[in-house]
Amino acid sequence: MSTIKSTIAKLFAILFIFQFIASCANKIHSEYISLYEYQIVDSAKKKDISKIDIVKDLQTTDVIFIGEFHSHQASHKLQLDLIQMLYQQNPSLVISMEQFSRDAQPTLDGYLAGKYGEETLIEDANAWDNYKGSYRPIMEFAKENHIPVIAANAPAMFVRCMGRRGSDFLASIPEEKKSWSARKIDLTNKKYQEKFFSFLESSGTSHGQSKKEASKRQIKTYSAQLLRDTTMAESILSALDKYPNHQVIHLNGAFHSDNHLGTVAVIETERPSIAIKVISPVSSNSLEIKSIELNEYQQGEYLYLIKELPPRFLDDDKEMKSISKLIRSRLKEKCEL
């Protein structure tokens, strides 16, 4: 009898061990966060919010800015998810994109109308290198559902010339190309300027220059940034005029919309009656609210937590070589209209 009890006890012990191992495995599995996952947060309430609830909250918003980290797939997954749900709520939708410039609008329209194939769109509209992996699903959803897509940005050449020559460049744009970008910029937003200059300094772009030279260079670089911001703002306002009673979803790098600065500030100055809400990304390895810094809640009405990307470099020498290579390639680029 004691032998039987001993055997049963051993079996229960083995069973317990297996259950413990299984529970640990499930716990490890459940805590893994992929680079496609995100958690949306209501900034005012500092609480998680579901996709269903945020879509309801956005129902009466005229322009929704979804800031992104360009190379992060979770940003693009969130954009697609929200666009699909917002469309179900209100089919009167327009998608505005930083990723295409105004001169590409005829090609974009032709693709959406079924006149061109995808390679024509990519080549003739100068689609970004990550188009197929990041923006293709959004474009195809727009195409299938006849949603207008706005090529909102200024051409890369205009931005490059602005960065080289400063705001005086605008006067030299040929008449037939003037509609491709904003015709004036506002350099008076000190808060945005300070944020931008701080970013430049932290990225080391002033290295090897005198303080005076660095200051002049910063102003020109800032002017180029403002050309993007202002052109996109004007494109959004034009879309609202062209498509009355439509909701505009604008996709851009988070810097253009965080803290209601950049493109958002231009719209709010030009047309303060427009209802705008900003959705902004925050990197975190836990996707828990406790990982959000207090100042990050100011970035937008909503935040979405996404997993941090792997570090680009662990070797300082390789990083410096990569930066030097990028600088050399940029210096070779010409300012030609």
Distances 14 to 7, 10, 177 between C-alpha atoms, Å: 11, 6, 77
Amino acid at 70: H
- Other C-beta atoms within 10 Å of 213: how many? 11
pLDDT truncated to tens, each residue of the chain (337 aa)? 555 555 555 544 444 544 544 454 444 445 789 999 999 999 999 999 999 999 999 999 999 999 999 999 999 999 999 999 999 999 999 999 999 999 999 999 999 999 999 999 999 999 999 999 999 999 999 999 999 999 999 999 999 999 999 999 999 999 999 999 999 999 889 999 999 999 888 866 555 555 666 778 899 999 999 999 999 999 999 999 999 999 999 999 999 999 999 999 999 999 999 999 999 999 998 899 999 999 999 999 999 999 999 999 999 999 999 988 987 888 788 898 8
Q: Among all chains, which residue has been given the structure tokens 């299984």?
A: 22
Is-contact 161 337, C-beta < 8 A? yes
Instruction: Give the residue among 237, 301, 243 at the shortest CA–CA distance from 269.
Output: 237
Retrieve residue 276's tokens. Answer: 């705008």
* pTM listed for this prediction: 0.88
**CATH architecture classification, 32-332:** 3-Layer(aba) Sandwich (3.40)
Q: Among all chains, which residue has been given the structure tokens 């998810």?
A: 81
The length of the chain, given as a count of residues? 337
φ/ψ of residue 192, rounded to 5 = -70, -40
Q: Rounded to an integer, what distance in angstroms lies between the CA atom of residue 40 and that of residue 82?
A: 11
- Other C-beta atoms within 10 Å of 264: how many? 28
Q: Rounded to an integer, what distance in angstroms lies between the CA atom of residue 135 and that of residue 313?
A: 26
Helix (H, G, I), strand (E, B) or coil at 184: coil
